[in-house]
Amino acid sequence: MSLSLNDRVARLNDVLVSVNLLNWDARVMMPAGGAETRGHQIATLMGIAREMILDPAMGEAAEAVLASDAPDLDRRAALAVQEARTHHARIPAALLRRQAEQSITAGAAWTEARRTGDFTLFQSHLQSIVDLAREKAQALGYDGHPYDPMADVFEPGATAAKLTSFFDQLRDGIRPILDAALARPAPRSDFLFRDYPIEGQQAFCAYIAEALGYDMTRGRLDTAVHPFEISMTRYDVRITSRWNPNYLPMSIFGTIHEAGHALYEMGADPSLTRGAHATDMIGLYAVAGTSFGMHESQSRLLENHIGRSPAFWAVHYGKLRDTFPEQLGDVSEAEFVAAINRVSPGLTRVEADELTYDLHVMLRVKIEMALMDGSLKAADVPEAWNAAMRDDLGLEVPDNGAGCLQDVHWSHGYIGSFPTYTVGNSTAAQIMAHLDTTQPAVRAGVAAGDYSALHGALGDLVWQHGRSRSRAETSASIGAEAYDPTAYLAYLQGKFAG
């Protein structure tokens, strides 16, 4: 008997989540010497996945669903399969394999380059990644900029032109708010840089993730050079953080951020899952979310709108101070909240305040676009990066480890993913503005340390839909437009310009 579309996608998903598991191991547990062979293993599985998606029987199964009176959700899945087939048919199998192998070896090179601050250890790998991305863009085709098909992978419908317009509006709006914020006296923050034993940080971060609803029976919290979340279906969603013994916010907000991603994954409607097979995970990017931008909206919403709010710390600061009594014994709750929301331009994106964060993203996207159109070579990235940091934030970069080597994304071939961080910030603001107007129980719950109303609201609006509802559709459902920064700028104005 011929397999149904759901059965075929479930088998495909089993291969893809195996890739995710190998990637998780490579970034958390694997010895450095295993990088080359791990690259071959992942490339083999990605090749198998490609064969499965391009199997004529997969196409026939999708066509059968579309020719039937199947429910809307099944029809959407069938259309997604057809889109994935078209996409992957355009990419040569050899190119897919080279990208998979390159991502693992480049990842190992990046780790060492970042540790030493020596960009030359990563330079040739980055150029290879860019060359492969340009080759992929040519294979996929584009009418505008070679960046377009790369951005579209992570945020469907995104183009260089759309993103440039969106970023220009946002930059123009952020600059006066930033200038006003920097003109005010900075709050006390010395205590954030005291000696915080890693064991205490790990214990508190596990506590805060669970308090926010992260289910440790379906997940785990580990250590990575660069924090990430990864899903092996909604039943196995893992997060990582990193621990700086002399800067407390890094681990706390890294954990809250990744927990936001994880709650999205865990919150996908069980009806989208057959047994242990998440049938909504179609394509070679096995995430439940409809796009990276929507995914990022959930992590940034939890990290900033909830995790940095005074109401949140009114509930949890006592636990934090009990964990670090010597370090925080002379610090009031109000002082702590002011410190974690201070505006202080810095070198590192993941530690950036909310006002300067998007300037970091824009810097990276500008470099990516230049790499893709050939106006910038990998060898010139450090100079371009340092000049942009000087112009945008008035900062001098002391070494490449604190500069262009700080993010893991390029080493994994994720050219086109950076815009989704700012897209996520904007979407998070749209969602919270809507919830503040329509569901006051959400804020009331946060003030009481009860996140059930928040989970219910986000579950109804975002989580339950998995990949079956686009980010544009979600924005439209609350009266917003996908690339309109109005709500985000209003949030920043209200928080930082008052």
150: nearest Cα among 371, 425, 350: 371
445: nearest Cα among 186, 213, 104: 213
| Alpha-carbon separation of residue 315 from 221, 307, 333, 450, 462 (angstroms) | 22, 11, 10, 10, 26
**Which residues does 31 contact at the CB level (< 8 Å), separation at least 6?**
none
SS3 assignment for 230-242: EECCCCCEEEEEC
CA distance 258 to 13: 22
Rg for the chain (alpha carbons), in Å?
A: 22
Q: 261 a known binding residue? A: yes
CA distance 400 to 382: 7
408: nearest Cα among 83, 103, 148: 103
The encoded tokens of residue 358 equal: 């998007």
Q: 257 a known binding residue? A: yes
Residue whose entry in the numeric block shows the structure tokens 């997940």: 219
Catalytic residue among 155, 258, 265, 303: 258
Is-contact 295 289, C-beta < 8 A? yes
Q: 296 a known binding residue? A: yes
CB atoms within 10 A of CB 197: 13
Is-contact 252 337, C-beta < 8 A? no
DSSP-assigned states of every residue in 177-225: HHHHHHHSPPPP-GGGGS---HHHHHHHHHHHHHHTT--TTS--EEE-S
Is-contact 445 454, C-beta < 8 A? yes
335 catalytic? Reply is: no
CA distance 484 to 480: 7
CA distance 315 to 250: 20
Residues of each annotated binding site: 257, 261, 296
For the annotated catalytic residues, the residue numbers are: 258
Residues of each annotated binding site for Zn(2+): 257, 261, 296
